[in-house]
Amino acid sequence: MSQQLINHSPDLKRLRDEGYEIEVRGGYLLIHHIPYVDQNRQILYGVLVSTLTLSNNNKTATPDSHVIHFIGDNPCGSDGTIITAIQHSNSNSVLNHQITVNRSFSNKPPAGYPNYYEKVKRYADIISAPAKYLDSSVTEKTFKVIADSANETVFQYIDTNSSRANIEVINAKLEGQKIAIVGLGGTGAYILDMVAKTPVKEIHLFDGDSFDQHNAFRSPGAASMSDLNENSRKAAYYQKLYSNMHKHIYIHDYYVKKENLLELDKMDYIFVCVDKNAARKMITDYLASIGIPFSDVGLGVNVVDDKLTGAVRVTSATRDKNDHLPLRIFSEDSDNNEYATNIQIAELNALNAIFAILRWKKLSGIYVDLENEHHSSYAISTSKIFNEDVVTA
C-alpha cells in the first residue's frame, strides 16, 4: 500500500527518486538517515517524521501542518550551538505504538508548504547543512530502499485522521478487541458506523432480519433503490457497506437465541440492540454470568398532543459491576411505546448509539471517565442526561 502511495504521489516519488530514505508508516511519513551535528560537534543521523494528508488512498494532498517531528538530539550548527531558528518543542511524544519522536521543528514559508517534497527538503537542508560543512561526504540521499511495512491494519486505507489529531496511540487501545453487535435496527446500525472507524480486530454482526425500505429511513447512509430491491439480510447489507472501510466484518444472519448464545463467548465487548425485552433479558443475563462487558441500548417514544416525547437509555455492565441489571432490564415488553409502530426517528437512534459508543470507549480507556456510570438516560422533553449506577472508588 505504501509503495503504491509513493508511486502515485509526485512529491513522495520525487523524494524517493532523489535518494531520500522515505517510509510510509500508518498515517506518517518518515525520512531516515538525516545527518546533523550534535552539541559535541559529532555527526549523527536522525529521522524526520511528518503527518500525512491524503486526497485518496493513493495520493497525497497539501500538508496539513508546517511543523515536523524529529527522532534524535537537537541539531546544531558546525560550532555545536543549537539551531534555534527552527525550535518548536523539545519533549518526547508517542505518535503510535511504533513511533516515538523526541522533538519537533517549525519553519513556515509565507504560503506554507505546497507538497511533501518541499517540506521535507527544506527541513533536511537546514538540519544537515552543518554536517555537510564538517564532512563533505555526508549526505541524506543514500538511495537506500526502506522495506515496505505494507500498512497491515484492519482498515482498507490509511487512517490519517488519527495521525493528524495525534491520537493514534490512544485509539490503539481498541486494537485486538472482538466486537459483537446484536441487532442491526436503527441504533445497532449507527453503532456499527462508529465501530467500523476504530482499529478493533473483528466486528461480528448478528441479525436474522432483512433490510427493508422502512429500515433505510432510520439507518446511517442512504440506501439506493437497487440496494432495497436486493432484499438482502441486514447483516449482509451492512457488511458489504462497511467492508469498504474495515476488513474484518463477519456476518451471523440469524437471531441470537438460547441455542446459539455460546457464539458470544469469544467476544471482548457486545452491543445489545434488540427490541424485544425477553431476548434482551436472556442475552444480558448470559453475558453478565460469563463476565463479558456489554452495553444494552433502549429507546422509548410516545405521542403526546401531536408531539413525540420519551427517552433513550444505555445500560452497561462489566465483570465487576452488574448488580444493577435486575433494576434496569426486564423481561416483559411494554405496550406504551410508539417506537414499535415504526415511527422514523433516526436522530434518536444515532444519539442512542453515540451514548453506547462513548460508554464503551470510556471503559476501554479512550475518554476520561469521572463518574463511571453504568446506566445513563436522556430525556427528550427536558434535554437532560441522568447518570446512575455509578461506581465509586
Across the chain, mean pLDDT equals 92
Mean predicted confidence (pLDDT) in 65-73? 97
The whole-number average pLDDT for the span 164-188 is 92
C-alpha cell at 47: 529521522
For the ranges 136-145, 208-217, 263-272, the one whose mean pLDDT is highest: 263-272
Residue predicted with more confidence, 38 or 144: 38
Phi, psi of 344 (to 5 degrees): -85, 110
Q: Determine the straight-line distance between the first and last CA of the chain, rounded to whole angstroms.
A: 46
At residue 374, the pLDDT reads 97
Q: Say what percent of the chain tops pLDDT 90.
A: 78
The predicted structure's pLDDT at residue 343: 52
For the cut 60, the answer to whether the pLDDT of residue 99 exceeds it is yes
pLDDT tens readout for residues 75-93: 999 999 999 999 999 999 9
Residue reference for cell 500498512: 151
What is the per-residue pLDDT for 97?
84
Judge contact between 180 and 264, C-beta under 8 A: yes
Please work out, in degrees rounded to the nearest 5, the angle formed at the alpha carbon of residue 303 by the alpha carbons of 299 and 307: 105
Nearest Cα to 103, choosing from 85, 90, 120, 88? 90
- For residue range 154-164, list pLDDT tens digits in order: 988 778 788 77
Contacts for 323-329: CB closer than 8 Å, 24+ residues apart: 324/374, 324/375, 324/388, 324/389, 325/284, 325/285, 325/288, 328/375, 328/389, 329/277, 329/280, 329/281, 329/284, 329/296
At 91 the pLDDT is 94
Q: What is the largest CA-CA distance in the chain?
A: 84
Is 70 exceeded by the pLDDT of residue 70?
A: yes
| Among 68, 60, 52, residue whose Cα is nearest residue 121 | 68
Q: Quote the strand ranges of the chain, DSSP E.
A: 21-25, 28-37, 43-51, 54-56, 59-60, 68-71, 87-89, 93-96, 99-101, 103-105, 178-182, 202-206, 249-252, 269-272, 294-304, 307-317, 373-379, 384-390
pLDDT > 90? residue 60: yes
Q: Which residue has the higher pLDDT, 299 or 37?
A: 37
Question: At which residue does the C-alpha cell 429511513 appear?
Answer: 217
Cα–Cα distance between 12 and 1 in angstroms, integer?
A: 13
pLDDT, tens digit (0-9, with 9 covering 90-100), for 222-277: 999 999 999 999 999 999 999 999 999 999 999 999 999 999 999 999 999 998 89
What are the two backbone dihedrals, phi and then psi, of residue 339, each rounded to the nearest 5 degrees? -60, -30
Task: Give the pLDDT mean for 307-331.
Answer: 93
**pLDDT at position 364:** 97
Residue 276 half-sphere exposure toward CB, CA atoms < 13 A: 10
**pTM of the predicted protein model:** 0.79
Please report the DSSP string for 190-230 in residue order.
HHHHHHTTS--SEEEEE--SB--HHHHTTSSS---HHHHHT
**Bridge pairing between strands 202-206 and 249-252:** parallel
Is the pLDDT reported for residue 341 higher than 50? no
Burial tier of 272 (Cβ tally within 10 Å: 0-12, 13-18, 19+): buried
Q: What is the mean pLDDT of residues 98-115?
A: 95
Give the model's pLDDT for residue 266.
95
* Mean per-residue pLDDT, 181-194: 96
**pLDDT > 80? residue 342:** no
The three three-digit cell numbers of residue 167, written as one number: 491520537
Domain architecture of the chain: domains with CATH: 2-164 (no CATH), 176-390 (3.40.50.720)
Q: In angstroms, rounded to a whole number, what is the distance separating the alpha carbons of residues 243 and 100?
A: 31
Least confident of 126-135, 148-157, 179-188, 312-321: 148-157
Predicted pLDDT at 339: 42
